[in-house]
């Protein structure tokens, strides 16, 4: 079903009386059945607001979400397990790793990747420089290179 804002727009246009359900569906780019369903609810005197689902209410409240956001801001590379443990200690309420993962996904958080990864350590750089100096005078135009790597 359409979101609540779409249902309110449909209600406004239906109450205006100038548009047919087909025109409203084209204007708002919603299914015509949605317009008829909203009109049926309005005629019956039933609310057009979204009904609460019958599932279990969420365990995470706003204060826990806020605490999770604060912890992530202070330590963006924290693991889910450590974050869940910190929230459990801080809020005195058992929160599992998957619940924290689900909450962070709904808050549009994603684990950031490092912006720059050093390709070589200092030790490896020195080895490469040493190797390049040793082999500087070779005739590299006669060298044949083959990439024998397999990617199975």
pLDDT at 116 over 80: no
Contacts of 69 (CB under 8 A, 6+ apart): 107, 109
Torsion angle of the four alpha carbons 122, 125, 131, 137, in this order, in degrees rounded to the nearest 10: -140
Average pLDDT, the chain: 85
Question: Between 141 and 9, whose confidence is greater?
Answer: 9
Domain boundaries defined on the chain: 4-44, 62-106
Predicted confidence at residue 129, as pLDDT, reads 94
Highest mean pLDDT among 21-25, 104-108, 116-120, 138-142: 21-25
What is the predicted pLDDT for the residue at 150?
65
Mean pLDDT of 55-66: 83
Residue 1 confidence (pLDDT) above 60? no
CB count in 10 Å sphere of residue 71: 16
Which pair of structure tokens corresponds to residue 68? 């999770």
Predicted pLDDT of residue 85: 92
> Can you tell me the distance from the alpha carbon of 51 to that of 45, in angstroms, rounded to the nearest whole number?
15
10-14, 20-24, 143-147 — which is least confidently predicted? 143-147
* Average pLDDT of the segment spanning 28-49: 90
Reported as a single tens digit per residue, the pLDDT across 61-92 is: 888 888 888 998 898 888 889 999 998 898 88
pTM: predicted TM-score of the whole model, two decimal places: 0.44
């Amino acid at each position: 079903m359409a979101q609540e804002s779409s249902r309110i727009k449909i209600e406004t246009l239906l109450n205006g009386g100038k548009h047919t359900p087909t025109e409203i569906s084209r204007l708002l780019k919603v299914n015509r059945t949605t317009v008829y369903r909203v009109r049926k609810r309005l005629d019956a005197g039933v609310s057009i607001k979204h009904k609460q689902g019958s599932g279990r209410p969420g365990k995470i409240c706003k204060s826990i979400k806020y605490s999770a956001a604060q912890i992530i801001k202070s330590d963006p590379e924290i693991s889910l397990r450590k974050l869940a443990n910190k929230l459990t200690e801080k809020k005195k309420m058992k929160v599992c790793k998957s619940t924290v993962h689900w909450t962070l996904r709904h808050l549009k958080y994603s684990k950031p990747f490092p912006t720059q990864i050093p390709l070589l350590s200092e030790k490896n750089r020195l080895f490469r420089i040493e190797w390049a100096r040793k082999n500087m005078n070779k005739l590299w135009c006669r060298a044949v290179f083959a990439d024998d790597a397999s990617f199975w």
